[in-house]
Amino acid sequence: MYWLIAPAYGEAEKEYGYIVEDLETLSLPVKVRDLLAPGLIEVKYPNESKARIRVEVKSATDIRKLSKDSPHGIIICEPGQVGPEVYERAQGRLSGRSGWLFMPGTLENSIGWFPQLADQWSSGFDSRRSFMLPTWANRELYPGGRSDPKVLEIERNSSEEYFKQRFGGERVTPRGLVFKEAKPDEHISAVEYRPEEDVYLTEDPGYGSESAHALYACHKIGSRIEVFDEIYERGRTTEEIIHIAMGRPWWQSATESQNLVSDPHYKDQHHSTTSVAEIWLRETGLVARPDYRIPILPGTERMRVALKRDPLTNKPNLIISPRCQGLLSEFGLAANPLTGLLQPYRWKTDRDGNVYGEKPDDRFNHGIKALIYLLVTVFGYARSQQRDTIPVIRRRDRVQGGSVRRVRFG
């Protein structure tokens, strides 16, 4: 049994046709159903009750239907046009038979989970490998290879980046991503709510009509944070976000765990008559932490430590469910679920794409900030950000404007 998964049934047309053509060339008894029916290919002999080969076409529009069976192999057609949740689901369906996964597609852009995987697997990764095939590798269409006149004409009429991606099969490394360490194969996994574990809630409220209110439900498993659910909305009040959360299956555990982290910069400010922290306390009885502000650069370093592989477990200390599309979009691994656009968290860049400034662009980062608040609150700052000394001003120096004496701890 094999599956063809495509953004829509019609998008599997080429692969579907190739398979039928190859099976017929082998003189096998092929039965074919119309592609939009949806498509089904069977190799079945008249005297046998069961098909020897069965190829089913699946649509990626509803991943809940990618269930029940365990195929021997899956082809994801144009994977760059589907979300990482489809890739994750395909891996899960194949695990029962240790099946293979093949993903042929083009690098239409250099941001997203598929280009990241192509880059990550280019030198081999466990049992995974990516191969970049330029357009001119097809000598039937381009007998002159890279110097073929048709290739040179395409290059002449294309920008350098577009030509490299669309025709050269190269990934042009995007400039300005804050967290290039985020990798779909390492940080996306189908983690689920565990009733026996404490639930940690962390949020960044977001203000203004273009800002997202991001709320995450997480587990702390040893030194690892597992993000298993997300509320990522725009134009919602804090009360509305809370009421959405109350309808989730993990809500009772969250209230019992009493672990709420909210934006320490704004949770106590009164943007209206009541602050965010006061609304949470009134509506749920949860007290929002922390009580101190978290600077951008130390918080960024804390996230980087969580994304790197732990030398003891050889796994990262941050795992994200594929259902958390808002958070994944900020890492550059998915499209923004509110806009459908690729809008990752970036450093500021000029019109030539050069990074400038010491702080990232403060947009498209609400989910990431919520996770940073949680990581710092639970684990503290990364070691490189901890101070071994604190300034102590002696009374005499304060009066005379003298120097500051430092006292070392530990």
142 and 225 housed in the same domain: no
Residue 236: inside a domain: yes
Mean pLDDT computed over every residue of the chain: 87
How much of the chain exceeds pLDDT 90, in percent? 60
pLDDT tens per residue, range 247-306:
999 999 999 999 999 998 888 876 667 899 999 999 999 999 998 899 999 999 999 999
Position 208 scores a pLDDT of 66
The pTM of this model reads 0.74
Residue 17: inside a domain: yes
Position 93 scores a pLDDT of 93
Q: Pick from 217, 247, 192: which is nearest to 367 by CA?
A: 217
Lowest mean pLDDT among 75-79, 188-192, 364-368, 391-395: 391-395
Position 87 scores a pLDDT of 92
144 and 270 housed in the same domain: no
In the chain, the N- to C-terminal Cα span, in Å, equals 63
The tokens of 179 are what?
């967290």
145 and 215 housed in the same domain: no
Confirm if 315 and 309 have CB atoms less than 8 A apart.
yes
Position 376 scores a pLDDT of 96
At 400, is the pLDDT very low, low, confident or very high (cuts 50, 70, 90)?
very low
Sort strands 224-234 and 318-320 into parallel, antiparallel or unpaired. parallel
At 392, is the pLDDT very low, low, confident or very high (cuts 50, 70, 90)?
very low
Position 209 scores a pLDDT of 66
253 and 322 housed in the same domain: yes
282 and 359 housed in the same domain: yes
- Tell me the Cα Rg of the chain: 26
283 and 338 housed in the same domain: yes
At 340, is the pLDDT very low, low, confident or very high (cuts 50, 70, 90)?
confident
- Which of 166, 198, 223 is the endpoint of a domain? 166
Q: What type of residue sits at position 129?
A: R
162 and 220 housed in the same domain: no
At 390, is the pLDDT very low, low, confident or very high (cuts 50, 70, 90)?
very low
- Rounded CA-CA distance 71/78 in Å is 19
pLDDT tens per residue, range 350-375:
776 678 888 898 889 999 999 999 99
pLDDT tens per residue, range 170-226:
877 667 889 989 999 899 998 999 999 999 999 999 776 678 999 999 999 999 999
Position 118 scores a pLDDT of 85
Position 394 scores a pLDDT of 42
- Rounded CA-CA distance 263/377 in Å is 11
Provide the CATH number for the domain around residue 150.
3.40.50
Q: Which domain covers residue 350, as residue numbers?
A: 185-385
Domain count, the chain: 2
- Which of 135, 166, 197 is the endpoint of a domain? 166
Compute the average pLDDT of residues 391-404. Answer: 42
Q: Is the pLDDT of residue 30 over 60?
A: yes
Confirm if 219 and 349 have CB atoms less than 8 A apart.
no
Phi, then psi, of 226 in degrees rounded to 5: -110, 115
- Alpha carbon of residue 62 to chain centroid: 18
194 and 322 housed in the same domain: yes
